[in-house]
Amino acid sequence: MLKIHGVTRSRASRIVWLCHEIGLPFQQIPVIQAYRLPDPDGPDAPLNTHSPAFLALSPAGAIPVLQDGDLTISESMACTLYLARKYGQPFGPADAAEDAQMMQWTFHAVTSIEPDALTILFLHGRGQAQQADDTAIVANAAERLIRPLRVLEDHLATRGHLVGGRFTVADINMAEVLRYAQSYGDLMGQFPATTGWLDACQARPAFRQMWEDRLAEPE
């Protein structure tokens, strides 16, 4: 059976959501981020991204990792694109052109949006802003996001989905990245088509199921 290494409170959420959409069974090994543990290297520490057993699988020490038979893959987006191609119709590409479009939106998400969206999540979304400087860092991150989000907004203004006129892995990959900035109303309020699309993605039963999986995990 497919194995997902990584707790759902991580980028493993993207893979879990897709598996729920496809109805693909998987076994989840709850490797937790080392930085979330007081003593990740201690003798009683749960399996985490510093554990030698996990590092043997993933030298980068990052979750998620996917195993499908003899194949081991890291990088969450490579995992979702692989699963969608192999198991995921209609969530995967029907042809090479759709494949390229799904990669285009996925790379747009990870290169142009994810770093600044994560800054917003950590300093604003989780209420961790402690210094006056943090407010400026969040505002600068939001400013940098306007251009890539405008590209997304213009696309979604006339379409319900990113690729092929149907919900696909491209929507999952983009929605999971945008979620990090979702709580920042000053930014997201400028993009009504994008927020409407994001709400629709998150109303899907498979997303709700993934979210329940997350909430069931320790914080």
Ligand X SMILES: N[C@@H](CCC(=O)N[C@@H](CS)C(=O)NCC(=O)O)C(=O)O
Whichever of 75 and 98 has its CB closer to ligand X, that residue is 75
> Three-state secondary structure along 79-100?
HHHHHHHHHCCCCCCCCHHHHH
**Which tokens hold the place of 169?**
């892995």
Q: Is 179 in the site for ligand X (CB under 6 A)?
A: no
Whichever of 63 and 198 has its CB closer to ligand X, that residue is 63
Q: Is 75 in the site for ligand X (CB under 6 A)?
A: yes
Q: How far is the CB of 110 from ligand X (least distance, A)?
A: 7
Q: Is 49 in the site for ligand X (CB under 6 A)?
A: yes
Alpha carbon distance 149, 155 (integer Å): 10
Helices 169-178, 12-22: crossing angle, 10 deg rounding: 140
Alpha carbon distance 18, 24 (integer Å): 8
Q: How far is the CB of 159 from ligand X (least distance, A)?
A: 26
Q: Which of residues 138-167 bind ligand X (CB under 6 A)?
A: none
Q: Is 11 in the site for ligand X (CB under 6 A)?
A: yes
Q: Are 51 and 31 in contact (CB under 8 A)?
A: yes
Q: Is 214 in the site for ligand X (CB under 6 A)?
A: no
Alpha carbon distance 39, 60 (integer Å): 19
Binding residue (CB under 6 A) for ligand X from 16, 19, 22, 63 = 63
Q: Is 34 in the site for ligand X (CB under 6 A)?
A: yes
Binding residue (CB under 6 A) for ligand X from 62, 118, 139, 193 = 62
What would the x/- binding string for ligand X be over residues 76 to 95, using CB under 6 A? xx------------------
Alpha carbon distance 61, 34 (integer Å): 9
Whichever of 41 and 154 has its CB closer to ligand X, that residue is 41
Q: Is 35 in the site for ligand X (CB under 6 A)?
A: yes
- CA nearest to 84, candidates 62, 111, 105: 105
- CA nearest to 15, candidates 67, 70, 54: 67
Q: Is 59 in the site for ligand X (CB under 6 A)?
A: no
Could you list the residues that contact ligand X (CB under 6 A)? 10-11, 33-35, 49, 61-64, 75-77
